[in-house]
Chain A
Amino acid sequence: MGSTISEKILARHAGKSSVKAGEVVVAEIDFAMVTDTRAANTIKMIGKLGDTQLKFAKNTALVLDHYSPPPTLEAAEIHTAMRSFAIERETKLYDIGDGICHQVLPEGGHLTCGDLVVGTDTHSVTYGAFNALGTGIEGTDVSAVMMSSKLWFRVPETVRIELQGQLQPGVWAKDITLSMLGRFGAEGLNYHAIEYVGSAVSAMDIDDRMTLCNHAAELGAKAAILEPDEKTYAWLRAHGARAPLPTFADADAHYAQRIVIDASSLAPQVARKHEVDDIVSVTDIDRQRIQFALIGTCTNGRLDDIRQAAEVLRGRKLAPGVRMIVTPASRQIYLAALREGLIEILTTAGASFEAAGCGTCVGITNHLVPGDGDTVISTANRNFKGRLNNKNADIWLGSAATVAASALTGFITDPRTVDGGTWRSAA
């Protein structure tokens, strides 16, 4: 019996020739990450251990992204503690405005194909876009990794999802992941690893592949991993990553499920208010007014997303009464958008830019607080009631193209109807 990608990566890191789903292994970690939401407890826990040597500190990044900028004195003090810890213990440090953890780790060259990477955030599954097994953990886990460079794992079952055909112009990885949530339900793939394969995945560029893997967190997935290709290797090389160890599944690997989906027939999808798995095609939405539009987050704050928004809004203005915030996922993306003139296009259209970080997604920085009865359309990955600090407001989710098209009209809008459908293809 052959192995899936996750089984191979875990076996290799556990020093075994093979592992099977359900087995517990102790595996060597390649890189670890702690965000500011879990750093206080982690630092406290390590502090209690006294002079313990942190042999893995050099392969650990502390990222100041959620409280970015800190809205309270408590948050500011967590940041101060993180900076001191990073200097004393010689970890990597990404400060406010550098970007969201899941963007700065790959951009910083900290991971490569075949790696095992952990982070204190459920969206650590994003690293699967680079053929790495990325998974979310908690403070105790990451403390253990810093102490010992290892962690225990239960080997997950894998679900193989083949995306055949090609996405239509104006349809993106976001729309696929939303349709997966409609199919499996939130947490519907709890414990599982997902392997996405097929022509529609091969055609995606890296930004869209990261969206595809990132959003698997809402499915409850432990990992979402892609096969690597020339695009993967080129991207990793350009960002100074270590030499890749490309990892593919065996033809006779065992999967919990094998699913085949025709990507060509997919329309843009949206998640309706409050539930990340209440999914409908945008074509089925009739006159749903919006007051706020948000483009950003670790799911869709990348250059391709900002390009989509600029494509829709070039030379135009937001609909009256609509406010739009754009939060690039990292400083590098902010700079790239600046150089391409995208910031000028969007700012002229009426959008406001926020420094790179997670703040607006989780409602921490209060850059965007909807009023009672307001509706937000967002590229975020979650729309729970009250996520933006108002339980009397609604949050819907869609792709950057859908969010921008909706900001243009003031109603949730199929992006393919803008510009007479002159969308460039996803590749």
Chain B
Amino acid sequence: MSRSSLLITGSALLLGDDVNTDINCSNKYLPGKDVDYVAAHAFEQLNPSIASDFASAGGGILVAGAHFGINSSREQAVHVMRVMNVRAIVAKSFGRQFFRNAINNGMPVFECDTSLIQKGQSLDIDFAAGTLNVDGKLLKTSEPLPHEILAILSLGGLIPFLQKYPDWNFA
């Protein structure tokens, strides 16, 4: 297999630091509510319009500060974000388990300083090169995502990946 490439484009929608996705993007405190319901109300305590902004824009790229997904471990948060048409997440840093859950469920994550990104700006991310362009100009470079992670993401997550490469022999 040739080296995976992964390019994502979308407009920026902003959240702040220390976003706990269990509280803001899962049914932990909404027992019995399904993923669609949570998606319509996700993050509303932090940014009341973000779910409708995503819906009217037809999706986009979530931009957050430090520790996105901190204290969270629910994979459901990633499923909710997919329903919201979140194409990728850019954050200064991620909670450890959230980072795993995102990749395992096919959600690309880009780690860099996000303080200069403004709402509505157009983002182009090349995950294999580790570059982030904002309105056509290079803003940040990050460590390129390793080959293994790119391969998992391009197949939509860890389980589809293993169905194709049961012995992880994809190089």
Residues of A within 8 A of B (CB): 22-24, 26, 41, 45, 49, 122, 136-141, 143-144, 147-148, 150, 152, 154, 186-187, 190-191, 220, 222
Q: State in angstroms the CA–CA spacing of A148 and B163 once bound together.
A: 10
Q: Which of B41-49, B68-76, B124-132 contacts A (4 or more CB under 8 A)?
A: B68-76
**Interface 0/1 of B85-98, CB less than 8 Å to A:** 00000000101110
Stretch from B1-9, B52-60, B112-120, B154-162 forming part of the interface with A: B154-162
With contact pairs A148-B168, A190-B93 given, residues A138 and B73 touching in the complex (Cβ less than 8 Å): yes
Q: Collect the chain B residues with CB atoms within 8 Å of residue A190's CB.
A: 67, 70, 93, 95-96
Q: Is B148 an interface residue (CB 8 A)?
A: yes
B contact residues, range? 20 to 34
Scoring A137, A148, A152 by chain B CB atoms within 10 A of each residue's CB, the highest score goes to: A152
B11 at the interface (CB under 8 A from A): no
9 of the cross-chain contacts (CB-CB < 8 Å) are A49-B159, A49-B163, A136-B97, A137-B100, A140-B159, A144-B159, A148-B166, A154-B99, A220-B70
B71 vs chain A, min Cβ distance (A): 7
A138 to B100, alpha carbons, bound, how many Å? 8
Q: Are A22 and B159 in contact (CB under 8 A)?
A: no
B95 near A187: Cβ-Cβ < 8 Å: yes
B101 & A140 in contact (Cβ 8 Å cutoff): yes
From A141, A148, A154, B104 is in contact (CB under 8 Å) with A141
Q: Which of B75, B95, B166 contacts A140 (CB 8 A)?
A: B75
Q: Which B residues are in CB contact (< 8 Å) with A137?
A: 97, 100
Contacts of B168 in A (CB 8 A): 26, 148, 150
Residues on the A chain within 8 Å of B159, using CB: 45, 49, 140, 143-144
A186 to B167, CA, bound (A): 37
Is there contact, CB below 8 Å, between A26 and B148?
yes
Nearest chain B residue, comparing its CB with the CB of A147: B162
Contact A220/B101 with A140-B159, A190-B67 known, Cβ cut-off 8 Å: no
Cβ-closest chain B residue relative to A140: B104
- Rounded to whole angstroms, the CA-CA distance of A159 and B96 in the bound complex is 16
Decide: B167 and A138 in contact? CB cutoff 8 A: no
Give the docked Cα–Cα distance between A222 and B149 (Å).
19
Flag if B97 contacts A148 (CB, 8 Å): no
Q: Which residues of A contact B97 (CB under 8 A)?
A: 122, 136-138
- A residues in contact with B148, CB < 8 Å: 24, 26, 152
Given A140-B158, A140-B159, A187-B67, decide whether A152 and B75 contact each other with a Cβ distance below 8 A.
Answer: no
A122 to B100, CA, bound (A): 13
5 additional A-B pairs beyond A140-B104, A190-B95, beta carbons within 8 Å, are A24-B146, A138-B73, A140-B105, A148-B166, A220-B96
Partner of A138, one of B67, B104, B143: B104
Task: State the CA gap A402–B75 with chains docked (Å).
Answer: 37
- How far, in whole Å, are A150 and B170 apart by their CA atoms in the complex? 14
Contacts A191-B96, A220-B96, A222-B96 given: A144-B158 contact, CB under 8 Å?
yes
Closest B residue to A26 using CB positions: B168
Question: Is the C-beta of B61 less than 8 angstroms from some C-beta in chain A?
Answer: no
* C-alpha spacing A26/B162, complex, angstroms: 12
Docked CA distance A122–B98 (Å): 12
A90 to B158, CA, bound (A): 23
The residue that B149 contacts in the complex, of A24, A148, A187, with Cβ under 8 A, is A24
Q: Say yes or no for B123: interface residue by CB 8 A criterion.
A: no
| Also in contact, A187 and B70, with CB within 8 A (given A26-B168, A138-B100, A140-B75) | yes
**Shortest beta-carbon distance from A217 to chain B in Å:** 10
- Interface flag for B25 (CB, 8 Å): no
> Which 9 A-B residue pairings sit nearest by Cβ, starting from the closest?
A24-B146, A140-B104, A26-B168, A144-B158, A138-B75, A140-B158, A24-B148, A191-B96, A147-B162
How many whole Å from A272's CB to the nearest CB in chain B? 18
Q: Is the CB of B73 within 8 A of A147?
A: no
**B residues within 8 A CB of A122?**
73, 97
Q: Give Cα A143–Cα B101 distance, bound, in whole angstroms.
A: 13
Chain B residues with Cβ below 8 Å from A138 are 73, 75, 97, 100-101, 104
> Is B12 located at the chain interface by the 8 A CB criterion?
no
CA–CA, A139 and B76, complex, Å: 11
| B152 within 8 Å of A (CB atoms) | yes
Measured in the bound complex, the distance between the Cα atoms of B146 and A148 in whole Å is 20
Q: Which residues on the B side are within 8 Å of A22 (C-beta)?
A: 143
CB-based nearest A residue for B147 = A24
Q: Nearest CB to that of A156 among chain B residues?
A: B96
- B152: A residues at CB distance < 8 A: 152
Let me know if A41 and B166 touch, CB within 8 A.
no
Known pairs A26-B168, A141-B100, A152-B152; A187 contacts B75 (CB<8 A): no
A190 to B99, CA, bound (A): 11
Kindly state the separation between the CA atoms of A143 and B166 in the bound complex, as whole angstroms: 12
Taking CB atoms, residues of chain A closer than 8 Å to B100 are: 137-138, 141
Nearest residue, chain B, Cβ from A46: B159
Q: Which residue of B lies closest to A45 (CB)?
A: B159
Distance between Cα atoms of A82 and B95 in the complex (Å): 29
- Bound form: Cα–Cα A393–B75 in Å: 30
A187 neighbours in B (Cβ, 8 Å): 67, 70-71, 95
- Chain A nearest CB, measured from B167 CB (Å): 7
**A-chain residues with CB within 8 Å of residue B149 when the two chains form the complex:** 24, 152
In the bound complex, CA of A191 to CA of B166 (Å)? 27
